[in-house]
Amino acid sequence: MVRKVFGTDGVRGEANTYPMTAEMALRLGAAAGRFFRRDHSNGHRVVIGKDTRLSGYMIENALTAGLTSTGMNVLLLGPVPTPAVGFLTRSMRADLGVMISASHNPHQDNGIKFFGPDGFKLCDAAEHEIEQFLADEIKPAEPGNIGRARRIDDAGGRYVEYAKTTFPRRKRLTGLKVVVDCANGAAYKVAPQVLWELGAEVVTLGVAPDGTNINSECGSTRPEAAARLVRESGADLGLCLDGDADRLIALDETGHVADGDQIMALFAGLWADAGRLANGTLVTTVMSNLGLERFMHGRGLALERTKVGDRYVVERMREGGFNLGGEQSGHIVMTDFTTTGDGLIAGLQLLAAMVETGKQASALLDNFTPVPQHLENLTIDAGAAPLASDMVRGVIAEQEKRLAGMGRLVIRPSGTEPLIRVMVECEDEALMHEVVEIVSEAIRDDATSAALSA
C-alpha cells in the first residue's frame, strides 16, 4: 500500500526525496490519468504549469510521461502562476490542471497541485481515489491511445489579458508608482506586464529567477527588501507575491506591511458598502486575527473560520455561497474572479480601491488594530507525534484555561512542512509569550524523548 502522499495542498516535499522524486511524479501522473480516464475514452487533456524551481523540469517531464502513458493529452504552459492554471484549466476545457510548485517554500522543495475541470483544487475524496490508483498496478493505454504533449507558447499572455479584465473598465493606473516583488517565481513576467499595460510606473524586484533563488530574501514571506524599495523610490504601493503568486502581502507608501487580514478587511468593507459581499460573510481560517473578527462584527457582518489551507476556505465559500475569503498569510480568494488565491488579481483590486477612492494605501489598509499574536514554528522529525502525547495534551489544556476569555491558543501540524505551529493570541503580551514558551517547550521535550527512545 502506498503511503499517503497528499497533504493540505497537494503533494509536497524536498526534490529528489520521497515523495518528490521523478519516479513518484511519473506514477502520480499515471494515477491521475487513470482517474480521469476511467471510461477509457480518448481526447482527455491536462494542462501543466510550473514555477521557476530547477527541479520543475524533472517533475514536469516525469508527470508528462505518466499522463501520456495513460492516454491523456498534455498541454505544457511553462512558468505561470498557480491561479493561471486554475483559469486555463477551465478556459481550455481541460479535464485536469496541474501546478508544479512548493509555493513559498525554498527552492529545494517542490510540489504538485491538482485542479479539476471547473478550475478548483481537487477535493479530499478525489485525491483519495488517485491514491487508490497509486496503490495498484497502473495499466497503461494501448499503443495507439498514448497521449500527445505540446507546449502552449502564449499561456502567460492569456492570463495577462484575463487579469486585466478584473480591473474596472475605463480606469487606468496612470500616475501611480508600484513596486512589485515577484519572489523570482512564477509571476516574474506576467505581474509587471499587467501593471505596466494598465498604466502604472512599475518598479520590479525578484524578476531574475535562476532556478535556485525563488523566495530567497524576497517575496511575501520576506517583504523587507520591497519595503526599502517602496521608501527609496517613493512608490504609492508595494505588492509582494510568493513563488507561485497565489499570495499577496501589501506595503503602503511608508513601507508598512499589511497582511491578508488587513486586505480582506478592506475588501469586505468595500464590497459590503457596494452590496457585493455575498451573504454578508467573510471566510477565513483559525489563524486570522481576532481584530479582523471584531471588525467584521462591528460592521454587522459575519466571519466564518475553517481549518488552515486555502482549499478549505474555498470549500466553505462554495458550500455557503460566499464570494470572499482567504488567509492571514495572503491567500485572497475572490470567486467573482478566481477559483483560488490570486496575488496579482488581489493587488489589482487594491489598486482599484486606491483609484476609485483617491485614498493612499495607508488609509485603506489600516482597518483594525490587531490583537497581539505570536507564532512559533517548531521543526519536528518525521514520525514524531508530540501532539498525541498525554503530557503535551495536559500542558495545552492548562494553558488554554489560563487564556480563557482573554485569548486563543491554536496548535497545528503544518500540512506542507515538517513543522508544528504554535500560535497564541492575547491582549496581555507577557502572558502570550509565556504560554507560547511553555507549550513549545513541552512539544520539543516530547519530540526529543521520542527520538532518543526510538
Provide the CATH number for the domain around residue 442.
3.30.310.50
**Residue where a domain terminates, one of 110, 129, 153:** 153
Query: For residues 317 and 325, is the Cβ–Cβ distance under 8 A?
Result: yes
Do 18 and 61 lie in a common domain? yes
- Rounded to whole angstroms, what are the CA distances from 398 to 358, 423, 435? 50, 15, 10
C-alpha–C-alpha distance, residues 103 and 246, integer Å: 8
C-alpha–C-alpha distance, residues 332 and 334, integer Å: 7
DSSP state of 6: -
**Residue where a domain terminates, one of 114, 131, 153:** 153
Q: Which residue has the higher pLDDT, 415 or 334?
A: 334
Do 345 and 382 lie in a common domain? no
pLDDT surpasses 90 at 438: yes
Residue 128 lies in a domain: yes
| Amino acid found at 43 | G
Q: How confident is the model at residue 419 (pLDDT cuts 50, 70, 90)?
A: confident
In which order are the strands placed within the sheet that holds 11-14? 11-14, 109-115, 96-100, 45-50, 73-79, 149-151
C-alpha–C-alpha distance, residues 245 and 302, integer Å: 28
Residue 103 annotated to the active site: yes
Do 289 and 274 lie in a common domain? yes
Do 146 and 77 lie in a common domain? yes
Task: Name the catalytic one among 55, 101, 103, 329.
Answer: 103
Do 219 and 310 lie in a common domain? yes
Do 145 and 164 lie in a common domain? no
Angle at 98 between CA 93 and CA 104, to 5 degrees: 135
**Residue where a domain terminates, one of 312, 332, 364:** 364
C-alpha–C-alpha distance, residues 232 and 216, integer Å: 21
C-alpha–C-alpha distance, residues 17 and 162, integer Å: 37
Residue 327 lies in a domain: yes
Do 141 and 58 lie in a common domain? yes
Q: How confident is the model at residue 9 (pLDDT cuts 50, 70, 90)?
A: confident
Partners of 150 in beta bridges: 75
Residue 439 lies in a domain: yes
Residue 2 lies in a domain: no
Q: How confident is the model at residue 213 (pLDDT cuts 50, 70, 90)?
A: very high
Residue-wise pLDDT tens digits, 41-68? 677 999 999 999 999 999 999 999 999 9
Do 38 and 57 lie in a common domain? yes
CATH number, position 49:
3.40.120.10
Do 430 and 334 lie in a common domain? no
Contacts for 263 with CB less than 8 Å, ≥ 6 apart: 248, 250, 326, 330, 332, 346, 350, 365
Do 342 and 441 lie in a common domain? no
Do 168 and 87 lie in a common domain? no
Do 16 and 79 lie in a common domain? yes
C-alpha–C-alpha distance, residues 58 and 25, integer Å: 9
Angle of helix 155-165 relative to helix 343-357, nearest 10 degrees? 30
**Count of domains observed in the chain:** 3
What's the domain range around 320? 158-364
The mean pLDDT value for 208-222 works out to 98
Q: At 388, phi and psi to the nearest 5?
A: -90, -5
Q: At 346, phi and psi to the nearest 5?
A: -60, -40
pTM: 0.92
